């Protein structure tokens, strides 16, 4: 499994493996495209994120790259989307997400 920071995204995954891109809600469509187009044959890519936790002044739930790829990949047979409800961190995190 590969875990890399966004700063080192300009690489190629040479072997069939797994790659997790966390905090995808803070990426633009072009940043996610740069990551996805570097995945080699057989690579399993997981893009996770929470649209309620966008902390960029330039992105919203509508303009987030995560929203973009979910929409673009919905008819691609090699992809799946899983939506999870609720906050699993803590009651404090849940309250902050709802109230702030």
Q: How confident is the model at residue 41, as a pLDDT?
A: 86
Domain count, the chain: 1
**Chain mean pLDDT for the chain:** 85
Average pLDDT, integer, range 63-87: 93
The answer to whether position 1 is within a domain reads: no
Q: Is 68's pLDDT higher than 60?
A: yes
Q: Residue 31 — pLDDT band, cuts 50, 70, 90?
A: very high
Answer whether residue 17 is part of any domain.
yes
Confidence of residue 63 (pLDDT cuts 50, 70, 90): very high
Classified as helix, coil or strand, 21 is: strand
Does the pLDDT value for residue 52 go beyond 70?
yes
Q: Is 32 a member of any domain?
A: yes
Which structural domain range is residue 81 located in? 6-99
Q: Which helix (H) or strand (E) holds 32?
A: helix 29-36
Q: What is the reported pLDDT for 85?
A: 82
């Amino acid at each position: 499994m590969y875990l890399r920071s966004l700063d080192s995204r300009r690489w190629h995954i040479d072997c069939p493996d797994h790659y997790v891109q966390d905090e995808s809600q803070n990426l633009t469509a072009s940043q996610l495209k740069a990551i996805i187009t570097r995945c080699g044959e057989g690579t399993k890519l997981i893009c996770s994120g929470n649209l309620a936790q966008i902390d960029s002044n330039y992105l919203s739930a509508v303009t987030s790259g995560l929203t973009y790829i979910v929409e673009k990949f919905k008819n691609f047979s090699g992809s799946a989307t899983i939506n999870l409800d609720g906050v699993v961190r803590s009651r404090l995190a849940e309250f902050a997400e709802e109230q702030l």
